[in-house]
A and B are shown apart, each in its own frame.
Chain A
Amino acid sequence: MILKRIKLVPVLFLLPSLLFLGVFVYIPIVQNFFNSFFDFSVFSQTKEFIGFSYFKELFEDKILMTSFANNIKYAVISVLFQVFFALILATILEDKLFRRIAPTLRVIYFIPVMISISVIALLFSFIYNPQMGLLNSFLDLIGLESLAKPWLGNATTAIYAVIAMSQWQSVGFITMLFIVAIQKIPKDLYEAAEIDGAGRIRKFFNITVPQVKETMFVNVLITVTGAMLVFNEPYILTNGGPGISSMTLSVHMYQLGFIKDNMGYASAVATLIFVVTAIFALIQIKVSGTGKDE
């Protein structure tokens, strides 16, 4: 009797979060997987079983290929810029030289994280505006008017313009995580290195980088899965256009479901997104070997 009661208590503590996770995460995932085997529309609830044909269709979908390529671009640029640049930024902010202004700078870098993405997207649509946008006016001002473009209206630049906005918004968040990690590094390591005559760059590569490895792994995971799921930014700025040039997987999924009224196929795309992000997460956990006690 006593033994049983003891076992029940931790379970009860887990119950609320499990309930929420179950209702809002696990059950929808299972349901979505189930839905991708059916042909059905938003307007009617009758479902027709069609087996794996939507999964076969995935491989012939041209828009899906473009979307996937865009998501990969998103991921690569985000990792380079957010993870590596943010680490450098965090190191600089934690340097003795910047001690006085670091708190102010931290706030400045963090402000974009706190602004709603819809607001930021509207803001950037003004910046990118071809007629009166800040970006083109700025290029004009410094004599580079030949570089001015309708950034969001050009099929080659649209996706990069969208990605650039994301970097601006997210770099502060990742920097913050790195700052916390750097602050946890024991100071005696740096002192020992200084006694051995190590400079700033040497200290960065031999102490900071290995010590924040765990955080770096988490950050890579956040940015890569985030890049695979990205929806708001392209949806608000370009709606995937011009043509399909800035389409991402999530935007494609949304449009299939709610505009083209093809819920079953949209579910199949959602399943694909889930599988892709899960694979990325597994690879990263495996490669970085996190979790092993050292």
Chain B
Amino acid sequence: MTKRSVLIKQGERSFILKKILSLLTLLVLVTLVLTACSSDKGATTPTNASVNNNEDIVEIEFFHRWPNEPRKSFYDQKIAEFEDQNPNVKINVDSVLNDSYKEKIRVLVSNDGLPDIFSSWSHSFAENLVSSNRVMSLDDIIKDDTDWSSNIMETQFDGFTFDDKTYGVPFTVDGKAFFYNKSIFEENNIQVPKTYDDLIDALDSLQKAGYETPLVEGLTNTWAISHYLGTIFQRIVDPEILAQDYTTSTAKFTDEGYVKGLEIFQELTSYMGEVSTAIDHEAARNMFAAGEVPILYMQFAEVKLVQDIGDVNIGFFNFPSIDGGKGDQTALTGAPEGWMLGKNAPPEAVEFLKFLTSPETAMEFTKVDGQLNAVKGGITEENANPTSLEAYDILLNSSSTAVWFDNAVDINVADIFMRGGQSLATKQVTPAEIIEEVQQAVQKLQ
């Protein structure tokens, strides 16, 4: 804009007008050049692994979502080990955190810049990536090497299987439960809540005992809201209606359970204090680990993270049963995460995938990171502490599992619920308004 005004200022307007014609001709020329370029591009689409002929080095692009410790170092070390074993392989690694990862992998999958090996959540998130037709089907690889693949829990492949084809290898299993501070509960004579009403009673008595925010959550992380809502809806709404509403083509969201669910969420946010919409989950976890907050809804993956920060005596209880709820009242919310391969990934990337999901790597991984792995018998007293073992037990024995809400429904629907959750916490909207918006959105999607 500045440039233009300066030009005009110098009184060269007439000059410009005279030249407009020739400029237009040039624009046409530019367009022609560009079309030529783009048709060129189609012919020479390279595979991601660029092979350097001189030294026969295969480069693998590796993309994961853990730029934070201890996982970053763990993978850096595994990369070094793999490169030592395979001198002809060079692994280029890149990583960004959770919400950013979701965005970046979506952009990458939309063109041929997709990495060779990358991490993915299960269910609708994975399905979306697979629908790009740029993710490799792993059926042959799994069948050909049963020595390796039979070590992994078969049940955990479900979330990566679409139209009977498997596209991902699960590596971690996870579940979400309320973590509570055992010492604080004992000091104040509070029983572990079994029903939702018990939970509210417990929160009230903790508030009386001086804990201004007995429960907290980092609501700037919208996924944290989706975890709450997913579990609450699973408890309240009839499973058949839920399945129907979670499928975009048949979704209605007319059940009154959804409004009730949002009301429950709003009631819970009223215990979280004003601060909750300004902090992230990590800050909330730190508050729990420091003993400032007695209850936090967390993933089993976070056990070690809490233990690393503070000396809290951790106990777990599943999201309590809700009176009048039509769903399985003891289901556990959680889903595996795994690895996927890009369509053009070289055979070396397949080897790297097997290396990352081998029993040895899995055992060591749980020891270092604390997160539970998807390898059969992969959690023992050797690599997990009693708290993690207790969590693993809850996970294996849960009556059924419910997947993460933001992975279960269309992202447009999830977004309205998640942003709506923030607005509920700041009291900008009512539950009924959110549901109305959701109903309009699903109509548009169909």
Q: Is the CB of A153 within 8 A of B426?
A: yes
CA distance A14 to B3 in the complex (A): 14
Please tell me if B278 contacts chain A, counting CB pairs below 8 Å.
Answer: yes
Q: Check A154/B419 contact, CB under 8 A, given A42-B109, A225-B1.
A: no
8 Å CB contact of B411 from A62, A131, A259: A259
Count contacts on B: residues with CB < 8 A to the other chain. 50
A212 on interface, CB distance cutoff 8 Å: no
A246-280 toward B: CB 8 Å interface, digit per residue (1/0)?
00000000010011111000000000000000000
Kindly report which residue of chain A lies nearest to residue B102, judged by CB atoms. Answer: A259
- Are the CB atoms of B274 and A11 closer together than 8 Å? no
Q: Is the Cβ of A153 less than 8 Å from the Cβ of B34? A: no
**B274 and A19 contacting across the interface, CB-CB below 8 Å:** no
Contact A153 B277 (CB under 8 A): yes
Q: A11-B26, A290-B9 are in contact. Are A260 and B274 (CB under 8 A)?
A: no
Alpha-carbon distance between A22 and B415 when the two chains are bound, in angstroms: 36
* Contact call A27/B31, Cβ cutoff below 8 A: yes
Among the listed B9, B102, B274, B429, which residue makes an inter-chain contact with A243, where contact means beta carbons less than 8 Å apart?
B429
B22 in contact (CB, < 8 A) = yes
State whether B30 touches A241 (Cβ < 8 A).
no
Q: State A280–B435 Cα separation when bound (angstroms).
A: 37
Residue A293 at the B interface, CB < 8 A? yes
Identify the stretch in A107-115, A166-174, A196-204, A216-224 within 8 Å (CB) of chain B at 4 or more residues: A216-224
Cβ contacts under 8 Å, A27 to chain B: 30-31, 34
Interface size on A (CB < 8 Å)?
50
Chain A residue with minimal CB distance to B130?
A43
Report the minimum CB–CB distance from A35 to chain B (whole Å): 14
Report A30 CB to chain B, min CB distance, Å.
9
Across the interface, A42 reaches (CB within 8 A) one of B2, B34, B110, B278, namely B110
Q: List chain A residues, Cβ under 8 A from B30.
A: 18-19, 22-23, 27
Interface string of B70-102 (1 = CB under 8 A from A): 000000000000000000000000000001001
C-alpha spacing A225/B13, complex, angstroms: 23
Q: Which residues of B from 277 to 334 have beta carbons under 8 Å from A? A: 277-279, 283
Contacts of B131 in A (CB 8 A): 43-44
Quick one: which of A153, A155, A225 has the most chain B CB within 10 A? A153
Q: How far is the CA of A245 from the CA of B424 in the complex (A)?
A: 12
**A26 within 8 Å of B by Cβ?**
yes
Residue A103 lies at the interface, judged by CB distance under 8 Å to chain B = no
Q: Is the CB of B103 within 8 A of A18?
A: no
The closest CB in chain A to the CB of B420 belongs to A243
Q: Once bound together, how far apart are the Cα atoms of A216 and B426, in whole Å?
A: 40
A23 to B36, CA, bound (A): 13
Taking CB atoms and an 8 Å cut-off, the chain B residues in 89-131 that contact chain A are 99, 102-103, 106-107, 109-110, 128-129, 131
- Determine whether the beta carbon of B423 is less than 8 Å from that of A244: yes
Query: Smallest distance from the beta carbon of A73 to chain B beta carbons, Å?
Result: 17
Least Cβ–Cβ distance between B269 and chain A, in angstroms:
11
In the complex the two chains form, what is the Cα distance from A222 to B103 in whole Å? Answer: 30
**B189 located at the interface, meaning its Cβ lies under 8 Å from any Cβ of chain A in the complex:** no
A15 near B420 (CB under 8 angstroms)?
no
Q: B11 at interface (Cβ–Cβ under 8 A)?
A: yes
Cβ of B220 under 8 Å from chain A? yes
State whether A153 touches B2 (Cβ < 8 A). Answer: no
The answer for the CA separation of A169 and B274 in the assembled complex, in Å, is 28
Residues of A within 8 A of B106 (CB): 42-43, 258-259, 261
With A131-B279, A291-B5 as contacts: A242 and B26 at CB distance below 8 Å: no
From B23, B110, B278, B411, A260 is in contact (CB under 8 Å) with B411
Q: Does A150 contact B (CB under 8 A)?
A: yes
Check A43 against B132 for contact (C-beta < 8 Å): yes
- Chain B nearest CB, measured from A170 CB (Å): 15
What are the residues of chain A within 8 A of B428 when measuring CB–CB? 155, 242-243, 245
Task: Judge whether B31 and A242 touch: CB under 8 Å.
Answer: no
Shortest CB-to-CB span from A140 to chain B, Å, is 15
Asked if B156 lies at the interface with its beta carbon under 8 angstroms from chain A, I say: no
Q: How far is the CA of A18 from the CA of B110 in the complex (A)?
A: 30
Q: CB < 8 Å: which of A10, A255, A291 contacts B13?
A: A291
Answer whether residue A151 sits at the interface, using C-beta atoms and an 8 A cutoff: yes
A44 and B132 CA atoms in complex are apart in Å by 6
Q: Tell me the nearest residue of chain A to B292, going by C-beta.
A: A131
**Measured CA separation A230–B412 after assembly (Å):** 23
Chain A positions 213 through 238: 1 when the CB is less than 8 Å from some CB of chain B, otherwise 0 = 01001100110010000000000001
Query: Would A243 and B419 be within 8 Å (CB), given that A11-B22, A43-B131, A130-B279 are in contact?
Result: yes
> Cβ of A281 < 8 Å from any Cβ of B?
yes
Asked whether, in the complex, the Cβ of A154 is within 8 Å of the Cβ of B5, the reply is no
Is the C-beta of A163 less than 8 angstroms from some C-beta in chain B? no
Is B219 among interface residues, defined by CB-CB distance under 8 A? yes
On whether the beta carbons of B426 and A243 are closer than 8 Å, the reply is: yes
CB distance from A80 to the nearest CB of B (A): 20
- Given A44-B131, A153-B279, A217-B5 in contact, is the A259-B415 Cβ separation under 8 Å? yes
Cα A19 to Cα B33 in complex, Å, equals 10
Residues of A within 8 A of B (CB): 10-11, 14-15, 18-19, 22-23, 26-27, 42-44, 62, 128-131, 149-155, 214, 217-218, 221-222, 225, 238-245, 255, 258-262, 281, 285, 290-291, 293
Contacts from B to A (Cβ < 8 Å): 1-2, 5, 8-9, 11, 13, 19, 22-23, 26-27, 30-31, 33-34, 99, 102-103, 106-107, 109-110, 128-129, 131-133, 219-220, 222, 274-279, 283, 411-412, 415, 419-420, 422-423, 425-426, 428-429, 437
A to B CB contacts below 8 Å, 14 in the list? A11-B19, A11-B22, A18-B26, A22-B26, A43-B128, A150-B278, A153-B275, A155-B277, A155-B423, A218-B2, A241-B419, A242-B219, A258-B107, A259-B411
Q: Lowest 3 A-B CB distances belong to which pairs?
A: A153-B278, A243-B423, A150-B278
